[in-house]
Structure 1
């Protein structure tokens, strides 16, 4: 098979990671893998792993992107993929128009992946207009069936995102060198019960909830300490300043540590005593929660979206009613009073995700056009 995946750019994020993982699986299985994007820092890795990258500026939500329809059509005609897999709305629209100019019998099969809870409108509906629509969780399946009646239930295929259990092995512990360096960089973390909130600094991630939780916990547990793992985009500098002022005003500067953007997320998840998932909106999957559980760290999160699906399967005692601050406090308190065990994770593997996606490609490629 020859599969062409389309996405805006190849810098960082869940869509990008998924694209690389499927590309790698295609090459390993002896298929041909092509990726079209505006480029980015992951292109070198993609190419080193055996895929071909074709650069086309299909990343801008602007009318000028329509100029890319003809070049995209030429690339499709030149490479003649069996499957075109769109992973984002602008590339999906450009593909839609590009395919219209190709005779029906010469068109590749079209697959899309709905990675997000997109706004409900005509613009987003394009993601549900493919022969098969991959949804990354049951929450996304429900979202599509509730909001996009044009998409037949039998055309939606739920394929959970997956992680490599070897990259996040159960019981993993950071090296002594890493721990020593972390205590050197952040001496306030030593001998503390570490409560980790991973994710970039945005209003969505629940930082205010974390601040209130720590303030309440300290009255009884002086060893409670929050670690925020994630950087702030320059556009979010005002929000970060706002958070820092709140922390200062509450006298919590010694009890909440911001470690910034990190490439050693596995170490921080394993090093923490508890990981929180407090997003103000439902997440479509919840990869970080899964990574934490995979290394054996308990996760406590709101009962909604993909995170709730992961927790209900793997760690139901970490599920709490949405926005119930008292329940959050009591659940964290339970974890401080008596450390909890997390069973080894046997679901949501990267291998399953890749096998199910490649099986779907095979199934669709064998159908008559």
Structure 2
């Protein structure tokens, strides 16, 4: 296989599934001897990206405004200088910038254009750019069906289903944290002592099902269950008002001693290992559900709404945790059952990271030889 130069582009490198997927493919490219370049507006993950052998070029391809069109010419100049074999766009604004830059280049020599649909975007001409790739990667069957239903001009043979994956070495079954980590955890969160811990992971946004989580904790507490709810996830500046709403709601429900906001954690594996149950309660379908898979990989049970990518993972790996969407009574009953009789968990044998990386690199190579 010849050495490839692959340029991935996304808005920024702060946190989230798109960002982590970008780093994972970048790492796989480097390990295979290829040149890996990422174009974004930067962020806290840039240092890790560069440390792992990739190059990062900062460019403001993150603004959802017409001003981003001014990046088309600089992006085209960058492509002519770097001469990548593949341009892989992972979000709408960077995809528009890349696609419009490529249109003015010689079709015989320009890079090949690939997209990954990470979200169930609003259906519009603006979102349609994510279906313009020569290959369109869908991160779950839910996403593949979304594309086929809403963008009939995207032929089925151009869509390739590649599930996201988790590294079983990073999230080993039966994982237990170090004594040092555990001592600090107990020092930082003494309110968790003697409680059954329920965890709702994810960034602080209105779609993550916080109200359902509060009602779940409230109902279990009313039944005498010694539960404590952990909300694990960072908050962007523009979402701080919503975080204040959540904190106010906790007070209104009298749950100040029963709910803890941990903020962003880089030790989610350790956190999951000390939880009795992880929840996935998004009010809209998730495209995949990485945190669900991470928890299941180490052996922590999960209960979540049976919809979207989360439903796909649960049905395949842990069907006992798939709750009928929005059925709060069923959710409470399932969680109570899992707490009273903890299930016997088994190692996860699907959705592995190495499969995702291998299939993505194969697409890069096959696209160049097609």
1:38-64 deviation line (CA, Å, top 9, x unaligned): 222322222222222222222212222
1:92 maps to: 95
Q: Distance between the aligned counterparts of 1:233 and 1:50, measured in 2?
A: 28
TM-score normalised by structure 2 residue count: 0.95
Cα offset, 1:234, TM superposition: 3.5
Aligned partner of residue 330 in structure 2, secondary structure: helix
TM-score normalised by structure 1 residue count: 0.96
Match of 1:187 among 182, 185, 190: 190
Cα offset, 1:160, TM superposition: 0.7
For the 8 Å contact 1:298–1:341, the answer to whether it is kept is no
Q: Distance between the aligned counterparts of 1:250 and 1:61, measured in 2?
A: 37
Match of 1:357 among 345, 349, 360: 360
For the 8 Å contact 2:138–2:162, the answer to whether it is kept is yes
Aligned partner of residue 126 in structure 2, secondary structure: helix
Q: Distance between the aligned counterparts of 1:74 and 1:232, measured in 2?
A: 35
Q: Distance between the aligned counterparts of 1:299 and 1:265, measured in 2?
A: 15
2:346 maps to: 343
Match of 1:299 among 298, 302, 311: 302
2:140 maps to: 137
Alpha-carbon distance change, 202 to 55 in structure 1, aligned in 2, over 3 angstroms: closer
Q: Distance between the aligned counterparts of 2:14 and 2:256, measured in 1?
A: 33
1:274 aligns with 2:277: yes
2:231 maps to: 228
Match of 1:249 among 233, 252, 276: 252
Alpha-carbon distance change, 234 to 47 in structure 1, aligned in 2, over 3 angstroms: closer
1:164 aligns with 2:171: no
Alpha-carbon distance change, 327 to 134 in structure 1, aligned in 2, over 3 angstroms: same
Aligned partner of residue 148 in structure 2, secondary structure: helix
1:198 maps to: 201
Higher alpha-carbon deviation: 251-260 or 322-331: 251-260
Q: Distance between the aligned counterparts of 2:172 and 2:318, measured in 1?
A: 17
1:30 maps to: 33
1:285 aligns with 2:288: yes
Cα offset, 1:341, TM superposition: 1.8
Aligned partner of residue 137 in structure 2, secondary structure: strand
Cα offset, 1:298, TM superposition: 0.3
Matches within 5 A, 1:101-120: 101-120=104-123
Aligned partner of residue 106 in structure 1, secondary structure: coil
Aligned length: 367
1:211 maps to: 214
Alpha-carbon distance change, 105 to 346 in structure 1, aligned in 2, over 3 angstroms: same
Q: Distance between the aligned counterparts of 1:46 and 1:236, measured in 2?
A: 26
Alpha-carbon distance change, 150 to 163 in structure 1, aligned in 2, over 3 angstroms: same
2:76 maps to: 73
Aligned partner of residue 207 in structure 2, secondary structure: helix
Cα offset, 1:75, TM superposition: 1.5
Q: Distance between the aligned counterparts of 1:67 and 1:217, measured in 2?
A: 54
1:77-110 deviation line (CA, Å, top 9, x unaligned): 2222221111111111111211121111112211
Higher alpha-carbon deviation: 14-23 or 320-329: 14-23
2:22 maps to: 19
Alpha-carbon distance change, 113 to 177 in structure 1, aligned in 2, over 3 angstroms: same
Aligned partner of residue 203 in structure 1, secondary structure: coil
Q: Distance between the aligned counterparts of 1:2 and 1:240, measured in 2?
A: 41
Aligned partner of residue 22 in structure 1, secondary structure: helix
When the two chains are superposed, the root-mean-square deviation of aligned CA atoms in Å is 1.4
1:321 maps to: 324
Alpha-carbon distance change, 245 to 101 in structure 1, aligned in 2, over 3 angstroms: closer
